[in-house]
Amino acid sequence: MLKIEIDREDDGRWIGEVPDLPGVMVYGASEAEARIKAAALALRVIADRLEHGDPVPFEPSDLFVEA
């Protein structure tokens, strides 16, 4: 599981970050929006890394089961 860290900036914006995926940092108008945007960006980064054979912070086989 990847952790999304949420914090509030002095200007009122919310920031969401996934520490295990460098560069996954987003702003949102609300805590919920920041969380959703961070999760969406994390999924895009993971997909790109898998597609290009780059490392991800977990075993891809942990996500899927063979049917």
Q: Where are the domains of the chain?
A: 5-55
Closest of 67, 64, 21 to residue 44, by C-alpha: 21
Scan for tokens 């900036």, then name that residue: 9
Q: Which strand ranges, in their side-by-side order, compose the sheet holding 5-8?
A: 5-8, 14-17, 25-28
Confidence of residue 63 (pLDDT cuts 50, 70, 90): confident
Q: Which two tokens stand for residue 24?
A: 């996954």
Q: Identify the helix (H) or strand (E) that includes residue 11.
A: none
Gap between the Cα atoms of 27 and 23, Å rounded:
13
Q: What are 35-60's pLDDT values in tens digits?
A: 999 999 999 999 999 999 999 988 87
Maximum CA extent, the chain: 49
